[in-house]
Amino acid sequence: MSLLLNVDSLRKVYGHAKHEETAILKDVSFSLQRGEIVGLIGASGAGKSTVGRILASLEQQNGGTIWFDGSDLTELTGKRRRAFAKDIQMIFQDPYDSLSGRMCIQDLVEEPLIIQKYEKDSAKRRQLVNEALSLVSLDPKKYGARFPHELSGGERQRVGVARALVCRPKLIICDEPTSMLDTSLRLELIGLLKKLNEQFGIAYLFITHDIALTKGFCHRLLVLYEGHIVDQGFTETVIEYPEHPFTIKLIEALRSLENTKGESQ
């Protein structure tokens, strides 16, 4: 494994008050190797999505550096920064909200190729779309002309994965992609992400509240608390032997949340 991403002292403040005290991210530092799957956990509102959105160039940081595959992204602006967007894609929590209802599945998966200017030839683009759909087990002939509302939640989330992988990124930010799926679909999506990781060496930053899912999937876990990464380590070690007082509390809280969910299902 070699280094893919190194985030150093990342800082983010929303709104006009740019004081340190109001920063959501104060000093976030972590790294990720090529092909590595790293989970990011933390309380609700801790800033996990903000980290993901900054990495995916959907949000601008207020400080710190993001070294990615040989370049400091924070030094790049406009077109040059967007060029990296091809290599860092994102899968969102709500598979319905993140797909335009006016576009058919084929066009939705083709869109990133056009935006990123990945392939000029339309026939080749169509081929890439078909490949991406097949990889997520959606038959292009059957699903290509359908619209999002004609798909199940699990199928829609697989379209989200196809959109994320069609440009062959090096890193996919997964922002709670399983939280709106039921247990069997959750496991199915994890299986698919694992397969794509093994096949293409795509690394994931996997944002989640579901610690059970991280076991056997995430190589490492990062714990975000009060604007800092306060704990990190191999997944099983962080879950079974949490060290930081916040991690101990968080793991307990997430466990009891899972137990309540399990009882109500």
Ligand X SMILES: Nc1ncnc2c1ncn2[C@@H]1O[C@H](COP(=O)(O)OP(=O)(O)OP(=O)(O)O)[C@@H](O)[C@H]1O
Question: Which is nearer to ligand X, 65 or 179 (by Cβ)?
Answer: 179
Options 16, 21, 44, 141; binder of ligand X; rule CB under 6 A = 44
What is the Cα–Cα distance from 202 to 33, expressed in whole angstroms?
10
Residues numbered 6 to 35 that lie near ligand X (CB under 6 A) are 14-15, 24
Question: Which is nearer to ligand X, 49 or 98 (by Cβ)?
Answer: 49
Nearest distance, CB of residue 227 and ligand X, angstroms: 10
Nearest distance, CB of residue 49 and ligand X, angstroms: 3
- Burial of residue 101 (CB within 10 Å: 0-12, 13-18, 19+) is exposed
**Is the distance from CB of 216 to CB of 231 less than 8 angstroms?**
no
**Is the distance from CB of 207 to CB of 174 less than 8 angstroms?**
yes
Is residue 49 close enough to count as binding ligand X by CB under 6 A?
yes
Strands, sheet with 203-207, edge to edge from the N-terminal-most edge strand: 71-72, 63-68, 3-12, 25-33, 228-234, 220-225, 37-42, 203-207, 171-175, 88-91
Nearest distance, CB of residue 40 and ligand X, angstroms: 9
Is residue 229 close enough to count as binding ligand X by CB under 6 A?
no
Is residue 234 close enough to count as binding ligand X by CB under 6 A?
no
What is the Cα–Cα distance from 138 to 136, expressed in whole angstroms?
6
At residue 47, the 3 state secondary structure works out as: coil
Nearest distance, CB of residue 47 and ligand X, angstroms: 4
Is residue 48 close enough to count as binding ligand X by CB under 6 A?
yes
Cα–chain center distance at 42: 15
Options 46, 55, 113, 159; binder of ligand X; rule CB under 6 A = 46
Nearest distance, CB of residue 43 and ligand X, angstroms: 7
Enumerate binding residues for ligand X (CB under 6 A): 14-15, 24, 42, 44-50
